[in-house]
Amino acid sequence: MPTTLKNEAVIVGIGQTKYTKNSGVSELALASEAVRNAIDDAGLVPSDIDGLTTFLLDNNDEIEVARSVGIGDIKLFSRIGYGGGAATSIVHQATMAIATGTCDYVVAYRALNGRSGQRYSQGVSGDIVTSDLIHWSWYMPWGLLTPASWVAMFTQRYMHEYGAKAEDLGQVALAMRNHAVNNPDAFFYERPLSEEDYSTARMICEPLRLYDCCQETDGGCAVVITSPERARDLRHPGAQIRGVACAAAAEQEQMTSFYRDDITTLPEMDQVAEQIYAQSGLGPQDIDAAVIYDAFSSIVFFQLESFGFCKVGEAKDFVQEGNLSAKGGRLPTNTHGGQLSEAYIHGVNGIVEGTRLIRGTSANQPERNDHVLVTSGVGVPTSGLILGQLT
């Protein structure tokens, strides 16, 4: 039995739907299509799959997806909470199932009508009945109802502490857009963003302007995960999971961890970084490219610091130096355009892109691709993983 998850599992198939603003189909149709595409991509048939894992927020039951796709019997069905924090956590679930021999092939998926259906930008309301409603009620009466407003609170304090400026945030939005312009799957394919477009866009929640906020998308994504032994017999070079971990840190709240002494860092993401670097034996210097969760531009800053690509407070300098660009940057980041400019599939499109980077098939493929970092939602219990070439 393995004592660590290092190299125990491999992403061997990726699938997605078209990304649109109005799919015209059910979320189950999107999930089924994404899962089926991932299975096809791996060169498998649905009956090979024996585990399914997704987000707690996903409306597509594992058993409904299994029936719809013709998967048959399954030995694992699991869900992870906390919004986008689940993105790489579902890969973590799958990796544990593969490493322990619980399953042979697990599909991790996420599908949503995020634009034509329930829109997260429309905020939480008193109508949702969940166990954490009391938590949200410490914010709702004062009008903090949307993810943008919660993230803006951290961002404002961060900018105050470290002197980051609006134009620094803009570098993130512009870098993502420059990548999306070359990606036919991206909503902003061939639609560049100028510095002026960025800085004159309407203010959403200060200091976040329109293009600091991700899109809302209808679409789905799925990945197939199996063991290295099985992966070697499959169609595509696999993306081997060097390390994968999740963390919720002390005084954690969902999106509103406002009561820590210092609200300008992400202790949960620091812990994910520590775990996956330790597991993989790698460090920031070994990471060739990254998919960093970008529901908002500013959260890329926090994560660059958590993963040690720069010192705390210095992300503003790191992004100003063109380091995020696939064209010769130190850390080509979100080569698909990210959630800001490709699509918002709750971070799972980032796992698909991470796999493409390892395969060498990104629309903005950098030369070096030995190791790729992929992270999940920010400000919530979260997760991350490092992919490498199959050995």
Partner 1 sequence: MLSAEKKKELEEAIYAFVGKPIGPPFTGRDVVNEPMIRQWCDAMGETSPNYLDAVAAEKSPHGGIVAPPMMLQAWVMQGWEMHEGYDEPKNEEHRLHKLLTDAGYEGVLGTDTEQSFSRYLRLGDAVTADTVIEHISEEKATGAGVGYFITTRATFTDQNGAELGWMTFRVLKFIPNQPQQAASDDDGAAQPAKPARIKPPMGHDNSWWWQACTDGKIQIQRCGGCEKLRHPPRPMCGACGSMEWDAVESSGRGTLHTYTVIHYPQFPGYEFPIIAALVDLEEGVRMMSSISGCDYEKVEIGMPLQGVIHEDEDGFALPIFRPREDSQ
List residues near partner 1 by CB under 8 A.
21-22, 24-25, 115-116, 119, 121-123, 125-127, 133-135, 137-146, 149, 152-157, 160, 202-208, 216, 256, 258-259, 263
Distance CA 94, CA 225 (A): 7
Verify whether residue 293 is a known catalytic residue: yes
Verify whether residue 105 is a known catalytic residue: no
Q: Is 133 helix (H, G, I), strand (E, B) or coil?
A: helix
Cβ-Cβ contacts under 8 Å for 261 (sequence gap 6 or more): none
CA-based radius of gyration for the chain: 19
- The tokens for 80 are 């992870």
Distance CA 189, CA 176 (A): 11
Q: Which is nearer to partner 1, 160 or 327 (CB)?
A: 160
Q: Which is nearer to partner 1, 118 or 361 (CB)?
A: 118
CA dihedral angle for residue 303, residue 308, residue 314, residue 316, rounded to 10 degrees: -40
Distance CA 233, CA 246 (A): 30
Least distance in Å: CB of 270 to partner 1? 20
* Cross-strand pairs, 218: 20, 113
Least distance in Å: CB of 156 to partner 1? 5
Residue-wise over 10-29: b if at least 16 C-beta within 10 A, else e? bbbbbbbbebbeebebebbb
| Contact in structure between 222 and 41 (CB atoms under 8 Å) | no
- Got the DSSP string for 3-58? SS-TTS-EEEEEEE---BS---S-HHHHHHHHHHHHHHHHT--GGG--EEEEETT-
Catalytic residue among 82, 109, 139, 344: 344
Q: Which is nearer to partner 1, 233 or 259 (CB)?
A: 259
Least distance in Å: CB of 24 to partner 1? 6
Least distance in Å: CB of 67 to partner 1? 21
Q: Which is nearer to partner 1, 119 or 311 (CB)?
A: 119
Q: Which is nearer to partner 1, 220 or 238 (CB)?
A: 220
- Kindly list the catalytic residues: 293, 344
